[in-house]
Amino acid sequence: MGLLSDPNRRRALISLLTRLNTPICIVCYMAGVAWFMGLAFEPFTLRTYMSENAMGSTMVEERFPAGERALATGREFSAHKKRTGGMPVEWLMKTMQAKGLEVFTQRFSRTLPFPDENKERYMVRGTNVYGILRAPRAPRTEALVLSAPCSPGDNNNQAVGLLLGLAEYFRNQIYWAKDIIFLVNEHDLIGMQAWLEGYHHTNTTGTFCHSRGGSIQAALSLELSSDIITSLDLVLEGLNGQLPNLDLANLFYAFCQKIGVLCTIQGKLQRNDWDSVSGYSHAVQTMMLMVMKQASGRPWGDHGLFLRYHIEAATIKGVNSFRQYKTDATTIGRLLEGMYRKLNNLLERLHQSYFFYLMPSLSHFVSIGYYMPAFGLLAVILLLRALDLWVQLSTPPQRTEDGVTDIEPVRGVLSLLTPLVISHLTGVALYMLPIRFQEMAVEHFPVSETEAVVLTAIAVYTAGLALPHNTHRLLSGEGTEQGWRVLKLVAVLYLAVLLGCTALINFSLGFILALTLVPVAAFVTPHVPKVLSAFILVILSPACTLLFSVFFFQELQEMPISFQDGWLLFLSVISQGILDHSLYGSLVYPLITLLVYPCWLLFWNILFWN
Amino acid sequence: CVGINLRYRFHVSLLCKLVSCFGDRAGQFFSSGHTNNWAVLVCTSRFWFNYRHVANTLSVYRSVKRLGIPDSHIVLMLADDMACNHRNPKPATVFSHKNMELNVYGDDVEVDYRGYEVTVENFLRILTGRLPPSTPRSKRLLSDDRSNILIYLTGHGGNGFLKFQDSEEISNVELADAFEQMWQKRRYNELLFIIDTCQGASMYERFYSPNLMALASSQVGEDSLSHQPDLAIGVHLMDRYTFYLLEFLEDIHPASKTNMNDLFKVCPKSQCVSTPGHRTDLFLRDPGSVLITDFFGSVRKVELTMETINLTDPIDAESGELQKEMHTYADQLPVSEIIHQKPKQKDWHPPDGFILGLWTLILLVFFQTYGVKHLKHIF
């Protein structure tokens, strides 16, 4: 007989499963964490390489000459920006037209659901200016985008200057096979979102872009705030943790090496001593920074919004720190020229290299096939627990129980449905109430709108903790042994499916949630010591995970902050999450409030079953 | 008088030597056996990063044209247009040296098959001559049994196949069969086949027709490498084998006496990294006696002579050694057939229904006479 159909063997397997369940779970958890940490160890990673044949190697001659003139244009731009107090639209249009581009503007206006205290804006009104360089001999079917944000103050002037300088240089070349769109967007991400929606005709309100250049194949966003830079930083993480094709990062790295510019990722320079402890911890730090940024689900540069339209995009930041070797604007212009000439050779969208990867350094990467088992090991714990519960549920109850056991199945469903519905209703409340009732909160309490929203969210979250004690009053009688097991089985499977789907889309978010929620799901029963486990459950809840992540993120960036500042940062992170969701469609906030929080509440419910 | 005799005899012997010398030269004059030259030059890959294959083919085209084969006798097939590609920083040119020394596109290029017309089917139809009647002359290989044909293929290949246009392949078996068809239809006198792809030697492994000589840029299991990138254009300009072949051919002029053994030495392993190969077992003449211009040029041999040569000995038909075969070759342009099509005479048969009815009647009569009970024995 087969392994699973032989009753003897089956019983043996099942008894093995139930006896060794906890040890196996602990071993799996340790193995999952160890696997994840081992991903940054250099012998386990692969060197990056160019996968796209059409792009080839860095076989171009870069001849951009006008770095100084670009900086002068940047200074002019800054002067006009100060004079108009915003985006100098007429000056930009005139300059771009003088360089031979077809110039268009796009007006947009957005009202945020509540004022954004970080950037001090509530009702945003702005203009995007974009100039299209038409390819001299090609049909207008494909385009590349180079963008620089128009930021208030002294930021990013050199980026706009370099953009205009490159536009003038590119206009004189005849080898462009795609149109190139030079975009200066106002109010960074909001402007970029408006432009993308207008370009692709996806918004129902707002203005459409008058003129297009075909489907965009790739985009680069520039952030340059000083005349002289020492290194270039590459930012890849986009909205909802989406990453551009690895070939774009490979292209950037290849050109950095050819031209001899220092290039970093996550602001960290690459080290060669992977076998030493400090070298390994450096790689771990870089990878953890990427994981944290990807898990937050927010776009970390203007490029982040392009990825949703299947346009490969990255942001290049110029960093001026204290190093000996300095690079001037002409060299950066040459690097960008080289990258654009190579992107020009593309025949189809970038698709040959990986879309899901982690980078412990700019020259090494870990692909999805290597990092997924870390998550898989954590998910296996949930499945083992579910199997264990299933076995417990299907063994017949002991004779010592009274006749209550006969009516179990009927009441089991009802006692199962009630916590589910109530948890999800709490989740919905957490999702909708903060924004809905901010006016009411502002009326009654002396707080600003942003604070009102965030504090309402925290209040609803904490109120949810009181639920189990109240719902049980609704039910007739106490919870039973069968009942909590069924509920836990459903909750564990629900969590497994939820985390699995999240990890597929945004591995970092799924993994971090799994790290904290899987132990919760595994050990919680009504019989563990209540106070201690309640404390642990709250520590491992999504909100506290977020709080600890904030502190951890600051530590990784080598800017540790005090508890007060950390708490304020935590509050602003919550408000940013809500804003990102309503402005750009980030999915982290609805995921946490509508799905993860109710799931966690179910476990809270089980803890207080009796 | 002895002196005069001696002088006379000297003159006679000198004259005899001259005659025999002319006789030798005359023999050599008619030794190769071909009267016209054709070339079929094919580039099978498209896309901008395969610039070098077009440059390869155009380099050979240039050499072949320079050595005398006219456009009417060249079938040039280019799968993509590099000269007018949007990414070409020097439009209307295809360069084969770095620093843009040699523009092989020129201003008198005649491309016969361009773009998507370069397919396996069209290539095989050119070779075998089975083209639809509406095909123009410039797209036909109108060779006969006294033609020497040069066939040059380049592109991406593998063990036993050559890739056309990124969508189909021609195998070495098909190619060998096509050459056999050409031989049976007497469409060539001698054929030189050059291929510059990865694992090119596999393409001539299966040849079995006589009078074929083949050269390849690499053996089975080896890759043919490209020669040099050009930073201004941004692509590799040529493949190594064809680069050195071009260099070799630049030294050939119509009166060169260089022979095939020198061609086999082109691009040794030190320069080419891959090992070029060649195959001469099917070729009837000794490769050392085959001139390069027999295939690459269209040489009209002209010998000026002030003397008269007395061809007094006719070629003896009674010797019986040379049995002449009467060859007929297939009509390339079956114009007469198309113009004068008459309906064919068919023999007259009685209509089918009539025969069927007749037999049914016979059977019915039979069964009526001898009784229905016999029916069950039959059916």
Q: Across the interface, which of A59, A61, A177 has its CB nearest the CB of B87?
A: A177
User: Does B321 map to a domain?
Assistant: no
Q: What's residue A287's pLDDT?
A: 94
- Backbone torsions φ then ψ of B327, nearest 5 degrees: -95, 140
Q: Across the interface, which of B49, B231, B236 has its CB nearest the CB of A345?
A: B49
Q: What's residue A274's pLDDT?
A: 78
Closest listed residue to residue A247, CA positions, set A350, A126, A108, A374? A350
User: Does B371 map to a domain?
Assistant: no
Chain B positions touching A57 (Cβ under 8 A) are: 229
CA A149 to chain centre: 21
What was the ipTM of the complex prediction? Answer: 0.80
Kindly state the helix (H) or strand (E) to which residue B320 belongs, with its residue range. none
Q: What's residue A314's pLDDT?
A: 96
For chain A (length 610 residues), average pLDDT per consecutive 10? Answer: 79 86 93 94 89 81 90 94 91 94 92 84 91 91 94 90 95 93 93 92 73 89 92 94 94 92 89 85 93 94 93 94 88 94 92 93 92 94 92 71 49 73 91 86 83 89 80 57 84 95 94 94 87 91 93 90 91 92 92 94 86
8 Å CB contact of A345 and B86: no
Q: What's residue A302's pLDDT?
A: 93
Residue B165's domain comprises: 34-296
Distance CA B198, CA B219 (A): 8
Instruction: Write down the pTM of the prediction.
Output: 0.83
CB proximity under 8 Å: B 173-232 to A: 229-232
Is the predicted pLDDT of residue B323 greater than 90, yes or no? no
Distance CA B104, CA B245 (A): 14
Q: Which one-letter amino acid corresponds to residue B282?
A: L
Q: Supply A75's token pair.
A: 């200074």
CA B304 to chain centre: 32
Active site residue B16: no
As its CATH architecture, domain A53-362 has: 3-Layer(aba) Sandwich (3.40)
- What is the 3 state secondary structure string of A8-60? HHHHHHHHHHHHCHHHHHHHHHHHHHHHHHHCCCHHHCEECCCCCCCCCCCCC
Confidence band of B227 (pLDDT split at 50, 70, 90)? confident
Name the DSSP letter for residue B160.
T
Closest residue, chain B, to A137 (C-alpha): B86
Is the predicted pLDDT of residue B318 greater than 60, yes or no? no
Contacts of A423 (CB under 8 A, 6+ apart): A464, A467, A597, A598, A599, A601, A602, A605
Is the predicted pLDDT of residue B19 greater than 60, yes or no? no
| Domain count across chain B | 1
Kindly state the helix (H) or strand (E) to which residue B179 belongs, with its residue range. helix B172-184
CA B372 vs CA A362, B362, B369, B378: distances in Å: 98, 14, 8, 11
CA A405 to chain centre: 48
Is the predicted pLDDT of residue B90 greater than 60, yes or no? yes
Distance CA A482, CA A476 (A): 15
Give the SS3 label for residue A450: helix
Q: What's residue A469's pLDDT?
A: 66
Catalytic residue among B73, B97, B198, B272: B198
Q: Which of A61, A133, A343 to mutate to test the interface with B (most CBs of B within 10 A)?
A: A61
Residue with tokens 């450096």: A282
A 10 A CB-CB count for A519 gives 18
Chain B positions touching A344 (Cβ under 8 A) are: 87
Mean of per-residue pLDDT scores for chain B: 83
CB pairs under 8 A between A and B: 46
Domain definitions of chain A by residue range: 53-362, 415-608
Active site residue B156: yes
Kindly state the helix (H) or strand (E) to which residue B316 belongs, with its residue range. none
Angle between helix axes A21-38 and A507-523 (nearest 10 degrees) is 160
For residue B136, what is the domain's CATH number? 3.40.50.1460
User: Does B156 map to a domain?
Assistant: yes
Distance CA B182, CA B149 (A): 11
Is the predicted pLDDT of residue B4 greater than 90, yes or no? no
Distance CA A416, CA A394 (A): 17
User: Does B4 map to a domain?
Assistant: no
Q: What's residue A205's pLDDT?
A: 63
Contacts of B147 (CB under 8 A, 6+ apart): B34, B35, B36, B37, B38, B187, B188, B189
